[in-house]
A and B are shown apart, each in its own frame.
Chain A
Amino acid sequence: MTFMNAEPTVPADPKAAAQATATVPLQLNNVSHAYGDHIVLQDLSFQLRQGQIGCLLGPSGCGKTTVLRCVAGFERLRQGEIWLAGQRVSSPDFHAPPEQRRIGVVFQDYALFPHLTVADNVGFGLHRLNRRARAARVAELLQTVGLEHSAALYPHQLSGGQQQRVALARALAPRPDLLLLDEPFSNLDVDLRERLGLEVREILKSQHATALLITHDQHEAFAIADEIGIMMAGRIQQWDTPYHLYHQPANRFVADFVGQGVLVEGQVLNSRWVEIELGALSGDIPSECAQGCASCGRGCSVEVLLRPDDVVHDDGSPLRAEVIHKAFRGADILYTLRLPSGQRVLSLAPSHHNHALGEPIGIRLEADHVVAFRKDRDEVSNAKAR
């Protein structure tokens, strides 16, 4: 274990840093990475607590897979450092090889060994155990993932979902300090994806595993993760719980990427209130806007995020908006409405409130708290992880 004795050179006070990270399964400090001139990761920092399931969520090409590969040790770092279970494993001048990091990886293509049976795949990483201990651990895991009757089969004899479970069992078998999951459900049917997502969460929790999930699918992220980092252009835009990501997005990009919604124009009334076409709302006002600005004397113009559930259909309401598009979704209908000013909003209505295109329908606001963004500023790239 050579890397255990390697003296960290970067932190000013290595002992303090080591103590701070001793119980943290994964910590990234100011990690940057680039392929040539193409910058992939910029100044990335986050950490996971013991037993926590974290997730990096972002569109393809945002660098999330590179984070996983850096943590696993498949890529070397340009800047910053990565700590695993209190050990510094990556920095620009030090790199512990993947096989010494005590991590488990579930690959996007599962990467099962085609020449080995299910049981041998799961037992592959247990070469330090004796035969009996290995067999016991394999049996335990196969039972956990519900494949105890498939032990003697080969990977090609399994369905996609079963292969996925074998990959998970194989990665969990050596009891890794950290489990990495790279888009683990992207090769599966949508139905199966949702079911397996919940199942995987239960398995991870039952094994008390700390895990980092990489995905571009927010439903998957919401179903599995405790906390999610929204990634864009090599940076984490916001690291938060699913609830906060949806209701208190840190910037326009997060607001746009997570869930559905539209930005409508508003005027800041004071530090707590903002007025939009549909009425006044309390909300998160950017502090500099709340101070009032020189040009208008009142508050600034801002953009207010309205989710579909903030705008409620109410036949009795005097506020009217014209239906310009509707999407029937079974239990409810998602209307796209045009306000008198021409602005568009989304509204979720119960399924039996079926209105025709072009029909004006009554709506009212039902939002106790909204988020406003300054209009003339692009703060997407400057947001910090919380």
Chain B
Amino acid sequence: MSIWEYANPKKFIATTTPVLPWVMWGAGLCLAVGLVWGFFFTPDDYRQGSTVKIFYLHVPSAMMAINIWVMMLVTSLIWLIRRHHVSALAAKAAAPIGIVMTLMALFTGAVWGQPMWGTWWAWDPRLTSFLILFLFYLGYMALWTAIEDDDTAADLTSVLCIVGSVFAVLSRYAVNFWNQGLHQGASLSLDAEENVADVFWYPALVCIAGFVLLFVGLVILRTQTEIRLRRARALQARMTA
């Protein structure tokens, strides 16, 4: 059996529908456990005080903001190369989730930055590239709604997604490229020396799992929605023809 069989809309819906409630309940459980653990049962940081609790929202949302764009890049490339409609619709479905994650990362970063850096905002490489990523999400969603023909919209948004990927990569590695920014380097690392202390790391891992599951659940649900709307439009067009 080939993975491309799932590019069939009917097969996609039939396969994902039974999985969806499990993914959503898993997301809810992980988010509830991770956020309650992080908020109520972890100590304050010796330098950052209680603001360290913002970590459990800021880091997972920022990770998701970048990785969702990467997922959109992959599905856009699949659309451009293999012309599978489900992949184009999955990219379209992921964009609103990505923009919410980007907004969340920007907001939590600002309220964390104010007491720590003394400013809500700085034109720091990571912050600026994140703002540009937010604008790319906006532009991507606007382009989908501005073009009537679905295939043309999928083509043009795929090209926009490829261009925006530069900023998704910049958002991730900006602190490594330029050292003059306010933003610190990666908080999470496989290297134990660089990583945050375990007392913060374990609840953060549960939160990240929750964010990933929430994204998977929502992208499945929203892709199914797009498939159904597209089918309804096609049937209506056939009836009026």
Q: Do A and B come from one complex?
A: no
- Give A contacts to B, CB under 8 Å: none
- Give B contacts to A, CB under 8 Å: none
